[in-house]
Structure formats: C-alpha cells, structure tokens
A and B are shown apart, each in its own frame.
Chain A
Amino acid sequence: MAADIYTPGVVAGRLDAETIAANFADLHPPYDGHEAAVAADRCYFCHDAPCITACPTGIDIPLFIRQIATGTPEAAAKTILSSNILGGMCARVCPTETLCEEACVREAAEGKPVEIGRLQRHATDTLMAAGVHPFDRAAPTGKRIAVVGAGPAGLACAHRLAMKGHDVDLYDARPKGGGLNEYGIAAYKTVGGFAQAELDWLLKIGGISVHYGAALGRELSLEALRDSHDAVFLGIGLGGVNALRVEGQVTEGVMDAVDFIAALRQSGDKTDIPVGRQVVVIGGGMTAVDAAVQAKLLGAEQVTIAYRRGREAMSASRYEQNLAASKGVRLMFNAQPEALHGSGAVEAVEFALTQSVDGQLRLTGETRLVPADMVLRAIGQSLDGTPEGIALAGGKIAVSGAGRTSVAGVWAGGDCAAGGDDLTVTAVAEGRDAAEDIHASLLG
C-alpha cells in the first residue's frame, strides 16, 4: 500500500507526483506584461533612493523600474545585471522584505512597497528568455585567476574578472556549479532548473574554464593555486554544520536540514524523498523555515519549528515566519532542545522552555516533549576546514577591504568570509567587489 500523510516513520511518496508538483510551484509567479506595467507605475523614482542603499549590490532600482515602465525590460535587465550578475536569482530569493522593499518609501507610507523583487524578475527573465548575454569582455590582460567555489560569490567574482579581460579557472568540489543556488535555496523559490540555466547564461561571457569535482584540500592546494595563478579567490561557503548538543544517542531519523534540502533539490519529482509524519526542525533561520515548509509540502502530517528564543530574535523574517505558518507549520518559541528520545529511531524531542530576562536566556524549569519521527538540525553552518595558513575571525575567513585575506594574493567572499549577512545577494556583492580589487591590484 502506498504511503500517505498518516503513514508512521520516515517514508517517501506521501503525496502523488501531481500534488507535489502543485505544492512546489513558483512561490511568486512571474508577472505578465500588464501586471509589470501597473507595478512599475507605482515607483516614485525617488531621488538618491533608499532602496538602492538597502540593496547590498546597489542596483539602480528606480532606473530599472522606469525602463520597465517605458517598455524596455531588456534595458532594465542590463541595469540590474551590471550591478548584480545574479539579479535573476536574487529576484527570486532575496528577503526583499528586509532589504529593498523594506526601504521603499511606499512601505513607510502605505505598508505596501513597490514589488521590486518581482519587477526585477520580470526584467531579467525577459532578457534571459531572449538568450542575450549583454556584456562583452575587455581586451585580454594575460592574467589567470583561480576562483574556488562556484556559488554566488565565486560566480560573481569569475564573471566580473572575465569581463575585465582576465582568464578564470573556476573550481568546485561538487559535480555541479551554483553552490546553494543549486543545493540549498527552497525549491519553490527557484523552479524550473533556474539555477543551472542562469549558470549557463552567466558563463556565456567566455573566458571562464570550469572544473567540477575539484576540492581545495583534496585535489587542489592553496599553495599550488597561488603558484599557478596570478590571484586566488575563495568562495567556498560554509560546508560544515554546527553540532547539536543534546542527550541521547539516537541517530536514526535525525539529519541536517541542509542535507535534506540538497537531496530534495536534486530530486526530479520529489516522490523519492523520505520525510517523517511528525517532523521537528530545530533552529530559527531561513534554513529552518525552508526545511520545515518543504517537509510539509512533501506530505508530513505535522511539522514544528522549535526555536530556543522568542519570535523577535528569530533570524527568519516575519514574512518567512508567516509563510511557514500559512503552509501549516507550527512555530514553537522559547524551546531549547535537551534530549532525543527513542529506542532505535527517534520518537520524541524533549525541550526545556526558556525565557529571556534582560537579554539573557533563562530556563523556566518546565519541559515539553514533542513527538517526532524525523528531526532536522538547522542550527547554523560553519567553515569546513580552514585553507592552509589563512587567518580566521569568528570562525570565518578574516578579510579586510574588498575581501583581502591574511595571505597575499588571496581574496575571499560570500558566506565563508567574515562580515556581511549570509545571503545570496551579499555573496554576489562581495565576489564582485573582490574581482574589482583583484583587477586593480593586478593592473594597478
């Protein structure tokens, strides 16, 4: 008998392929032309616009919206992409409610910002659908740069370097490029294989040789890369996962949220992805929300996000929290995991309830047992192995200026580098700025 949402344990195929496909459809479907025109018409073309400042890549938002309004979404796309080459992905995944749209003067005035993210998508989708790559390479410089990590930071860096006329070797440990665009971002934010399509489109600039399955610390060493190249950029993200310290040795049914998501992102119709009937996700960030929502969309009967602090402290935005709630995920605050119970597979998680007193987290003395046949850990990622001889700060690669590390000729950016939010758009900004700095220092 096929599984359904009531089948106990961790099983695949709780829902049929059609229902799953509907569940995982585009979170914000693209605008049609008329909707885009109406949305663009709301932009006031503010002077020194706050949305530009709020965008980590500093896209000229009023200009691109005006270009949409005047019927030239292709020109709009060029405005976007000249600041942010992954403007297509960012349009889908940026938490705009805490970035550009939060800063929109219409948000302050009416609580309804101009929908910048969706307009950005309208523009970039139009250009990409036409198969146009609007940038050309400068004359060859004869310099060769190694970019390690083909996530947003590495891709933005590689593209900007190629544009400046340098040759780039782009390495990634995984069999595919894209980083978390391909393996991490929630499936309903980037439907239809967009991450690979965008990657292919980006590489059309030319001058970037990709080498997948090549890991720093395995096939590659920093020393050898420094010898063979004029500069090195590290955009290796956070490959490690923080450990969950709780009592109980139960491991069956317990996994890292990022692995659950990666498997889901690589699956075709997702009917092969096992999910529990009662899922508990531990954590308070975007990863926790994404894991919980997707578990629910796969057909888990009950999904709970347990976060050890209060709602205000949760790093997932209120928008993300509401998204989770709207999908039927329960949000449980002030619950700190203490023990995993179960003989063999996990059966329940025991939480100590907490309280915040003068900024300090205190236990109230109460505990709560939440039944669970699947536990997803989403309590943060960490740097996976430190590249030889590089100084760290707060567990990440220490950088100064535009991503300069402690080692001469080596830059870093994105999640692996200290400072900045762990967001796709921030990774793009850091990769791009490091490329400009590499260019300036090589030709300066």
Chain B
Amino acid sequence: MADLSTDFLGIKSPNPFWLASAPPTDKAYNVERAFKAGWGGVVWKTLGEAGPPIVNVNGPRYGAIWGADRRLLGLNNIELITDRPLEVNLREIKQVKRDWPDRAMIVSIMVPCEEQAWKAILPLVEETGADGIELNFGCPHGMSERGMGSAVGQVPEYIEMVARWCKQNTRMPVIVKLTPNITDIRYPARAAMKGGADAVSLINTISSITSVNLDSFSPEPSIDGKGSHGGYCGPAVKPIALNMVAEIARDPETRGLPISGIGGVTTWRDAAEFLALGAGTVQVCTAAMTYGFKIVQEMISGLSQYLDEKEMTLGELTGRAVPNVTDWQYLNLNYVTKARIDQDACIKCGRCYAACEDTSHQAIWMKPGRVFEVNDAECVACNLCVDVCPVEDCITMERLAPGTVDPRTGRVVEAEYGNWTTHPNNPAAKAAE
C-alpha cells in the first residue's frame, strides 16, 4: 500500500485528507470521531473574537441541488463561524491535539480587520499546541456584512496586511483561505504571498441562491419567507475550484506557494485531481456532511491503489498536471481529430445527432435504420457528441494522422506543433522561423 503520509509546511499528517473548517470540525466530539475514522487532519471551525458568542439563524441554514435520485450535487449554507464560546473551543483544541499528536490540527480564525484583534487571539491559539492557522477570508455571507470573511478576501491589500500581522505575531505557519467570489484568483493569492503567508487554501464557498420557491416566492433556504444568498459548495463547485487552484499553481508570481485544495472533493479521484494540479493536501466539507466521516476510507484505499498502479509516490503526483495547464493561445492547432461512432456499441438514441444538428456543425448523418455516422467534411471535433452520448466510449475522438487530408478544410494535417501565436490568421502572429 502506497505511503500517503504528508508534510505540508512542516505539518505532518498520515494522509492528505483534512476536514475543512465547517460544522464537522466544530467540536472535540466530532473531530475525535473523524480522527478515529481515519482523517489525516482538520481545520477547526472558524473561531471569532472573545466576547458574546455568534448568533446563527434559527431556521433552515442549508439549501441543496439534487440529481433525480436525490443525490446531493450542490449545497448552500448561511451558517456563520463557530457559535460556541472561544474558551471552550480553545480548551477542546488543546485536548484533541494532545490526544492525537500525529494528526494535523489547524485552527481557522476570523476577527475584525484590526491588528489588535489578531494580536489578542493568536497567543491563545498558539497556546493550544495547534500546528498552524488558517485565515478565513472567504465566508461570503453574514460575516462579510460585518467587514470580515470575503469582505477582506476581496481586497488584496487587506489580505496582505492581515497575513503580515499574523506572521509577525505568531510562530505558527499561516494559511490564507481564499474566496472564489472574485474576478481573478491570482491577485488575492499574490497578496497572501506578499504578506508572508506560508500557503493558501481554496476555495471557500461561492455566493449563490440554490432555488426559489415558486409558491412563496422566497429564495431557499427560506427564513420566515425571506432568504439571503449563501455559500455554494459540494460536487458542483469542483470544476471552479480546480481551475482556481491551477491558476495559482502556474502563475509565475505564486508558483511553488503551497496549496491546500478545497471544493467538492467527494472521492479519491477528486482528491487526486486537486493534488495533480498542485495541492499538497485536500480539504473536505460537504462530502463528510453528506455521507459521514467514514468516506475517508474510500479516499485512502482509492488513492493508494491509484499510486500503486501508477508506481508513483504522493510527492510525484503533486503538481504533475500543472505543466499541462496552459493558455489557449499555446494549444496545438495541428492536432486534428474526428468523432468516431462505434456502431456495435451504439444504441441508436440519436442524441449525438440532435446535439450536432442543432448546434452549428450538422456533421452527423442519420441514415435509414437509425444508423448514425460522422461526416468528416463537417466535423469540427468539438466533442459535444461524445459528451451527450449515454454510452461510455461509444463515440471517441480519433486523431487524423499527419500527412492525411482533413476533408473539412482540404488541408494536409501537419505533424509539427503549431499554435495561434504563429497562425497566419493572427494579425499579431510572429513569423515562424
């Protein structure tokens, strides 16, 4: 079995699977059972300032999107940071870290944007023996109305400033948790790095309304007939999170900055994808909230089987896909493919036909007997037929061998790589040497 042990900023954990800062990490009772189930670490539910505890709504705080069989695809919440007294959380963090020394214990913090507030809480957290802190600059609802959470995370200057305060006032590694509710994720990541942060974690939740009740006309979840936007998470957000992680991993300014990947991780496969795009650990929230702590067992067995099959170490997986993430302008325009329909596998539903016919290409013929064939003279290789086909591997994309003629363009397929930067149609093209 592959070795899954992880060293992230010097913080050791038996595997890269951490629970994200959220209700599953809100108390010792949960965190201890999570560790028993096998989780490698946790980011404790965000702590706020000392003083009167946070107040949450007393009606529904979650909304959801489901598949037809009620598989939960996306979750939305309007919960705030921990609503338990600070000293209770600190006492429990200390006890759990003492009892589980081999697991990563990160404490998430969100206090007002004043140096004094951070100076006050950091020694208290440090005293628990926690391995590191995560600055919650991500929460998009409630706390942001009070100038915290994503209200900070959306202003790179604030991120840099708070990160610097933290670095100056604690010896603990500092992870900055980023909000996706921003136009270009590289700016806050660069700011975190400038402020001296040791790592970034992302994504926090995405501002969203999951649905509207068409009888009461209230957004869901509805609190007495009114709703507020919440934070979206779960499987649906994974593609957005993957892109943001990749953007930071390949940005020349932040390259090498450690990343803890978050957003829709539900299976070992999701986790492996985050790792391949440069994450050193992954954090999980919705999947644990949906299925319970036990899911980590599948993540552990799946990732180690994958690494064994690939004869790869965890370190070798991390970042492996990053060099393959590039800009559109560098994609090989001489890579010419055509859709191929496997007539033996085809069940004759005609979805590929509808998709291609009603999209701009009209490249699939429907012949007598519901036989569907690709017209290479029209096929632009868009992949839509592959994506809508209900039978896996029935339609595949096959590359035209260099030297053959593409019947659509009438041009000979070139063997050499050629991209937009050198393409004759590009007014800014540099002449190929």
Q: Do A and B form a real pair? A: yes
**Most A CB atoms within 10 A — which of B268, B298, B305, B306?**
B298
- Taking a contact as CB atoms closer than 8 A, the residue among A42, A71, A78 that contacts B69 in the complex is A42
A72:B69 contact, CB within 8 angstroms: no
Chain A residues within an 8 Å CB radius of B291? 45
- CA A79 to CA B298, docked complex, whole Å: 10
- Taking a contact as CB atoms closer than 8 A, the residue among B292, B294, B302, B392 that contacts A70 in the complex is B302
B292:A63 contact, CB within 8 angstroms: no
Given known A34-B392, A70-B267, A70-B269, contact A63–B305 (CB-CB < 8 A):
no
Given known A42-B69, A78-B301, contact A71–B295 (CB-CB < 8 A):
no
Given known A47-B292, A72-B268, contact A67–B69 (CB-CB < 8 A):
no
B343 within 8 A of A: no
- Taking a contact as CB atoms closer than 8 A, the residue among B292, B298, B391, B392 that contacts A67 in the complex is B298
B268:A63 contact, CB within 8 angstroms: no
A74 within 8 A of B: yes
B305:A75 contact, CB within 8 angstroms: yes
Chain A residues within an 8 Å CB radius of B71? 41
B392:A71 contact, CB within 8 angstroms: no
B297 within 8 A of A: yes
Interface size class of A (residues with CB under 8 A): 10 to 19
Q: Digit string of B300-343 for contact with A (CB within 8 Å is 1, else 0)?
A: 01100110000000000000000000000000000000000000
Chain B residues within an 8 Å CB radius of A71? 269, 302
Given known A70-B267, A70-B269, contact A75–B295 (CB-CB < 8 A):
no
- What DSSP secondary structure best describes chain B's contact surface? helix
- Taking a contact as CB atoms closer than 8 A, the residue among B269, B297, B306, B391 that contacts A63 in the complex is B297
Chain A residues within an 8 Å CB radius of B298? 63, 66-67, 70, 72, 75
- CA A256 to CA B281, docked complex, whole Å: 64
* Closest chain B CB from A35 CB (angstroms): 11
B295:A45 contact, CB within 8 angstroms: yes
- CA A42 to CA B269, docked complex, whole Å: 19
A72:B302 contact, CB within 8 angstroms: yes
Chain B residues within an 8 Å CB radius of A42? 69
- CA A114 to CA B174, docked complex, whole Å: 46
Please name the residue on chain B nearest to A47 by beta carbon: B292
* Closest chain A CB from B393 CB (angstroms): 9
Chain A residues within an 8 Å CB radius of B297? 63
- CA A34 to CA B345, docked complex, whole Å: 12
- CA A42 to CA B69, docked complex, whole Å: 8
Please name the residue on chain A nearest to B301 by beta carbon: A75
- CA A45 to CA B267, docked complex, whole Å: 13
Scan residues 33-79 of chain A and give those whose CB is less than 8 A from a CB of chain B.
34, 41-42, 45, 47, 62-63, 66-67, 69-72, 74-75, 78-79
Given known A34-B392, A70-B268, A70-B269, contact A75–B292 (CB-CB < 8 A):
no
Please name the residue on chain B nearest to A70 by beta carbon: B267
* Closest chain B CB from A17 CB (angstroms): 29
Chain B residues within an 8 Å CB radius of A63? 294, 297-298
Chain B residues within an 8 Å CB radius of A78? 301
Given contacts A67-B302, A75-B305, 6 further A-B pairs with CB under 8 A are A34-B391, A45-B292, A70-B302, A71-B302, A72-B301, A78-B301
A-B contact pairs, 13 of them (CB 8 A): A41-B69, A45-B291, A45-B292, A45-B294, A47-B292, A62-B294, A66-B267, A67-B301, A72-B302, A72-B306, A75-B302, A78-B301, A79-B301
Counting from the closest, the 4 A-B pairs by CB-CB distance are A75-B301, A70-B267, A66-B298, A72-B302
